[in-house]
């Protein structure tokens, strides 16, 4: 019996050592080249940068939809003659709701195929996340036609990224990953929609790793778009933001997307080469009085740009934040410190009550908002976006001082998963004088929804402040400790 217990103890210790080693390595392993990328600062004129947004709101007792983002996406596709590079997290028609949604995914797919047919030498790359096949359980209905049309389709190799759910991913890497995911799905329902094909158990197991290429990018020889919006039908009525830019920053966007294709086994010859780029005039005719400095920032560089914008604020400066998920401790602490310096902080948050027709329990925004309001009542004010079945899906920070304004906006929520080199994300870091057009446009956007100008956009903090009982706060705390969470 003693020998048996000794042998058993040996195997338990060996398992723990291997398990801990796998967790440690995949938390710290080197990232592929040009991940956590920060491009050069580019000076561009006011005609070369444009703020875009979609808003769903109530007016005169009915829903209103102000939408411009995907009109710009379609226009970018229709004007491209030399190259198109797209990177979108979700592009599918899946939904758990019986509601009718815009046919964004089908429209985008058809426009890409039509443009490729119109210009056979057009170089087109479509980068996406395996979520669109529910991790190899089924075909992606609107992505397969792209490949059939000769477009380079790249599914991101998520295994090259670090593990945001380490306690689970350690087990998955030791045991489950070796069985693969492909096969005929039989497990209903699909987590992304009741009308989506069933999935394999192995796909569910991979899903629990909770990592993603979460970018929303399109770039051509004419312009680039950095967005918070997905071409996902059930997201069609979400409120989102984006920026359209021109100039040499397009080269940085191309470089950052080429990096994803490179570590995911994509064909790099499908990208524009140096000769292609040299033949295009990317220069911006910037005027000093109305110019902006723009940088591309991805992954953890987004966090760095965010903290830089916040820590330089002083008394009576303003911080405006419109965010789907807010949970990153570095950002939250920076906001608290700014409030202590008498900076005026206005937060517009999604109440996290709904996801494509499924009820949510208010995590993480309700407990985070409660914490911020309780500790800094005078200088931090929170409003909730008044959502129905859609989401306030924007991700934008705006800092306004007397002399200048800065903006950090794009695909990234302000959570540890999004900002600590787990997900792939893409944002712009914009700075300019406070009286320039781009700063005024963003400021007007925030004032419109904060003050409910010409419609009902936001409601007071008290509406959702007490909607989380103690048991849900315990769940939130356990999720943060174990990192077993989507934020």
How confident is the model at residue 358, as a pLDDT? 66
pTM score of the predicted model:
0.95
Q: Which residue has the tokens 């195929």?
A: 113
The answer on 268 and 291 residing in a single domain is no
Cα-based angle 264, 162, 183 (whole degrees, multiple of 5): 55
pLDDT at 192 over 80: no
Rg of the chain over all Cα atoms, to the nearest angstrom: 23
Mean pLDDT taken over the chain: 92
Cα 211 to Cα 53, 311, 323: the distances in Å are 26, 29, 20
The answer on 424 and 394 residing in a single domain is yes
* CATH assignment of the domain containing 385: 3.30.870.10
177: in domain: yes
- Model confidence band, residue 196 (pLDDT cutoffs 50, 70, 90): confident
Last residue of a domain, one of 258, 277, 296: 277
155: in domain: yes
Give me the mean pLDDT over the 13-29 stretch.
Answer: 95
Q: Which residue has the tokens 């945001």?
A: 164
How does strand 240-245 pair with strand 49-59? antiparallel
Between these two residues, 232 and 3, which has the higher pLDDT value? 232
Handedness of CA 177, 178, 182, 187 (dihedral sign): negative
- Model confidence band, residue 70 (pLDDT cutoffs 50, 70, 90): very high
The answer on 325 and 255 residing in a single domain is no
Last residue of a domain, one of 277, 304, 332: 277
The answer on 145 and 116 residing in a single domain is yes
- Residue 159: domain span: 50-277
How far is the C-alpha of 244 from the C-alpha of 48, rounded, in Å?
A: 8
454: in domain: yes
Looking at the 3D structure of the chain, how many domains does it have? Answer: 2
The answer on 223 and 97 residing in a single domain is yes
The answer on 431 and 295 residing in a single domain is yes
How confident is the model at residue 318, as a pLDDT? 98
19: in domain: no
The answer on 327 and 185 residing in a single domain is no
Q: Report the SS3 class of residue 312.
A: coil
Q: H/E element holding 155?
A: strand 152-155
The answer on 295 and 272 residing in a single domain is no
Q: Which of 251-255, 367-371, 416-420, 466-470 has the lowest mean pLDDT?
A: 466-470
85: in domain: yes
How confident is the model at residue 248, as a pLDDT? 95
The answer on 319 and 195 residing in a single domain is no
23: in domain: no
pLDDT at 207 over 80: yes
**Residue 278: how many CB atoms within 10 A of its CB?**
10
What are the pLDDT digits (tens) for 131-147? 999 998 889 999 999 99
Last residue of a domain, one of 244, 277, 310: 277
The answer on 291 and 184 residing in a single domain is no
Cα 156 to Cα 4, 133, 148, 205: the distances in Å are 46, 12, 19, 18
- Model confidence band, residue 182 (pLDDT cutoffs 50, 70, 90): confident
The answer on 459 and 329 residing in a single domain is yes
4: in domain: no
- Model confidence band, residue 238 (pLDDT cutoffs 50, 70, 90): very high
Dihedral in degrees, nearest 10, Cα atoms 35, 36, 42, 47: 90
The answer on 152 and 128 residing in a single domain is yes
243: in domain: yes
């Amino acid at each position: 019996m003693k020998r048996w217990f000794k042998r058993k103890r040996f195997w338990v210790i060996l398992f723990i050592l291997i398990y801990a080693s796998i967790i440690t390595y995949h938390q710290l392993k080197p990232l592929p080249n040009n991940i956590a990328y920060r491009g050069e600062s580019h000076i561009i004129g006011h005609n070369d940068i444009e703020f875009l947004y979609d808003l769903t709101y109530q007016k005169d007792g009915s829903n209103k939809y102000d939408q411009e983002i995907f009109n710009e996406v379609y226009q970018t596709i229709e004007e491209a003659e030399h190259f198109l590079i797209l990177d979108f997290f979700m592009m599918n028609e899946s939904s758990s709701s019986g509601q009718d949604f815009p046919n964004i995914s089908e429209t985008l797919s058809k426009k890409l195929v039509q443009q490729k047919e119109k210009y056979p030498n057009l170089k087109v790359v479509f980068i996406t996340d395996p979520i669109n096949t529910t991790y190899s359980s089924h075909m992606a209905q609107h992505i397969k036609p792209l490949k059939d049309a000769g477009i380079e389709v790249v599914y991101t190799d998520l295994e090259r990224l670090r593990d945001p759910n380490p306690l689970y991913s350690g087990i998955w890497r030791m045991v489950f990953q070796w069985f693969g995911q492909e096969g005929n799905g039989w497990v209903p329902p699909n987590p992304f929609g009741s009308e989506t094909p069933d999935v394999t158990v192995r796909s569910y197991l991979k899903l629990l790793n909770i990592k993603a290429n979460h970018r929303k990018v399109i770039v051509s020889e004419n312009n680039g778009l950095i967005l918070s919006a997905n071409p996902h039908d059930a997201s069609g009525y979400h409120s989102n933001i984006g920026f359209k830019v021109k100039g040499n920053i397009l080269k940085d966007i191309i470089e950052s997307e080429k990096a994803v294709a490179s570590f995911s086994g994509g064909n790099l010859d499908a990208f524009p080469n140096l000769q292609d780029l040299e033949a295009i005039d990317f220069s911006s005719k910037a005027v000093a009085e109305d110019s902006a400095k723009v940088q591309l920032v991805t992954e953890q560089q987004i966090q760095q740009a965010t903290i830089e914008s916040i820590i330089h604020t002083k008394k009576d400066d303003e911080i405006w934040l419109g965010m789907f998920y807010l949970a990153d401790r570095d950002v939250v602490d920076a906001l608290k410190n700014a409030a202590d310096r008498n900076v005026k902080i206005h937060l517009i948050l999604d109440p996290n009550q709904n996801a494509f027709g499924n009820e949510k329990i208010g995590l993480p925004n309700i407990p985070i908002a409660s914490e911020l309001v309780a500790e800094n009542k005078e200088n931090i004010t929170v409003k909730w976006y008044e959502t129905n079945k859609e989401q306030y899906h924007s991700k934008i920070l705006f800092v306004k001082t007397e002399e200048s304004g800065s903006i950090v906006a794009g695909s990234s929520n302000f959570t540890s998963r999004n900002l600590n080199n787990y997900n792939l994300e893409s944002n712009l870091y914009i700075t300019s004088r406070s009286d320039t057009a781009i700063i005024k446009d963003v400021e007007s956007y925030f004032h419109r929804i904060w003050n409910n100008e010409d419609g009902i956009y936001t409601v007071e903090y008290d509406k959702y402040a007490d909607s989380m009982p103690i048991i849900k706060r315990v769940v939130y705390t356990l999720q943060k400790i174990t990192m077993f969470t989507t934020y």
